């Protein structure tokens, strides 16, 4: 078994809202192995970004544990966390709104060094910027350009360069290609893949939809209303989806590679509100296979087959230990 880089245990992030306690991330546990990409997939509002931010402590978790190289970083004080931040980076969905429009490419990338107080000599900064621009495929002539002068792909390359200049080990990629033209999406995905191999990076890749993550993920976690409902190798997710929600998600995309004819499963009803959610299975209201127990008892994410975790009462009694 590969080395574990990140281990998240019983992570919760609740937001106190006027309407009540919003359970954005509700008791999730998972591991991320060194050098892998864990895809995190689910519909809008299911808690993907909040999970990514909470494990980096950009949102302070409500409770839980987050181990990075076996140390619980939730116990770190400010100084320890500052040093750790460099190793844990994030790339956002919309490179346009996440980049200060008044800064040039040079300053945008250098800014990342200043924020982290890693300031070295001007010459060295110049060299480092030149190095990361090369890494992410940004032409040197663009060093004094501003974000509005560049296309979406180049803007996202700046976002990636800002993360890379700190020499991170782990990057949360929060829908990094969703805002890009389809033709450019593949280029950025390829770049991320190459960078991972070259620099030995570990990724958590957040996406709405399974088709984006399938090309880049080693394993995929499916999220629904603040919970992970299935987690396994990307091949299993496509060839042998166990959770009724994963099956419905998959039925929306044709996958001729696996020679499977999928019947479209149309989910009835809407995703319930994450404010004061009822007990029992989060998918209960929309599940075609629900049973009495599902209404009362929340199913735990347990291993049901080799490397295949699922949270669903349909599989009670077949735990693989």
- Round to the nearest angstrom and report the end-to-end CA distance of the chain: 16
Residue written as token pair 């998972």: 30
C-beta of 282: minimal distance to ligand ATP in Å?
A: 13
Closest Cα to residue 129, out of 101, 103, 158? 158
Quick note: the x/- pattern for Mg ion over 34-53, rule CB under 5 A, is ---------------x----
C-beta of 75: minimal distance to ligand ATP in Å?
A: 23
According to CB under 6 A, which residues from 299 to 318 bind ligand SF4? Answer: 299, 312-314
Question: Interacting stretch for ligand ATP, rule CB under 6 A, among 43-51, 61-69, 101-109, 210-218?
Answer: 43-51
Residue 274 touches ligand ATP, criterion: CB under 6 A: yes
C-beta of 161: minimal distance to ligand SF4 in Å?
A: 42
Select the binding partner of residue 176 from ligand SF4, Mg ion, ligand ATP, none (C-beta < 5 to 8 A, by kind): none
Tokens of 293: 């127990």
Contact with ligand ATP (CB under 6 A): which of 11, 24, 150, 281?
24
CB 237 within 8 A of CB 210: yes
Considering the complex, state which of residue 224 and residue 234 has its C-beta at the smaller distance from ligand ATP. 224
Residue 183 touches ligand ATP, criterion: CB under 6 A: no
CB 168 within 8 A of CB 4: no
CA-to-CA distance for 180 and 167, rounded, in angstroms?
Answer: 25
Helices (H), the chain: 48-55, 78-85, 95-98, 105-115, 122-135, 152-164, 182-199, 210-214, 234-239, 244-251, 292-296
Residue 156 touches ligand ATP, criterion: CB under 6 A: no
Residue 277 touches ligand SF4, criterion: CB under 6 A: no
Residues 6+ apart with CB under 8 A from 168: 86, 87, 88, 89, 201
Tokens of 155: 């803007």
Residue count at the site for ligand ATP (CB under 6 A)?
14
Instruction: Report the interface residues with ligand SF4, using CB under 6 A.
Output: 244, 281, 283-284, 287, 289-291, 294, 299, 312-314
Instruction: Report the interface residues with ligand ATP, using CB under 6 A.
Output: 15, 17, 22, 24, 42, 44-50, 208, 274
Instruction: Report the interface residues with Mg ion, using CB under 5 A.
Output: 49
């Amino acid at each position: 078994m590969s080395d574990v880089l990140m281990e998240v245990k019983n992570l919760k992030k609740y937001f106190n809202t006027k309407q009540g306690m919003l359970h954005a991330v509700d008791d999730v546990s998972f591991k991320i192995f060194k050098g892998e990409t864990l895809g995190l997939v689910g519909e809008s509002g299911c808690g993907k970004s909040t999970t990514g931010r909470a494990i980096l402590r950009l949102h302070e978790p409500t409770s839980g544990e987050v181990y990075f190289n076996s140390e619980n970083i939730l116990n770190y004080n400010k100084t320890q966390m500052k040093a750790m931040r460099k190793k844990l980076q994030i790339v956002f969905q919309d490179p346009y709104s996440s980049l200060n429009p008044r800064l040039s490419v040079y300053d945008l990338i250098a800014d990342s060094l200043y924020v982290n107080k890693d300031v070295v000599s001007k010459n060295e900064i110049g060299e480092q910027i030149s190095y990361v621009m090369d890494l992410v495929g940004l032409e040197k002539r663009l060093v004094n350009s501003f974000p509005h002068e560049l296309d979406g792909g180049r803007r996202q390359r700046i976002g990636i360069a800002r993360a890379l200049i700190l020499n991170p080990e782990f990057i949360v990629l929060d829908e990094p290609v969703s805002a890009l033209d389809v033709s450019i999406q593949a280029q950025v995905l390829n770049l991320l893949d190459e960078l991972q191999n070259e620099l030995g990076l570990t990724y958590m890749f957040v996406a709405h939809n399974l088709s984006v993550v399938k090309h880049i993920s080693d394993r995929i976690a499916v999220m629904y209303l603040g919970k992970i409902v299935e987690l396994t190798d990307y091949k299993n997710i496509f060839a042998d989806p166990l959770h009724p929600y994963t099956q419905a998600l998959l039925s929306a995309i044709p996958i001729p590679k696996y020679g499977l004819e999928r019947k479209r499963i149309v989910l009835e009803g809407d995703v319930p509100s994450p404010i004061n959610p009822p007990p029992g299975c989060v998918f209960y209201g929309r599940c075609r296979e629900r049973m009495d127990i599902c209404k009362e008892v929340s199913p735990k994410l347990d291993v049901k087959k080799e490397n295949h975790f699922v949270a669903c009462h349909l599989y009670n009694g077949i735990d693989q230990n």
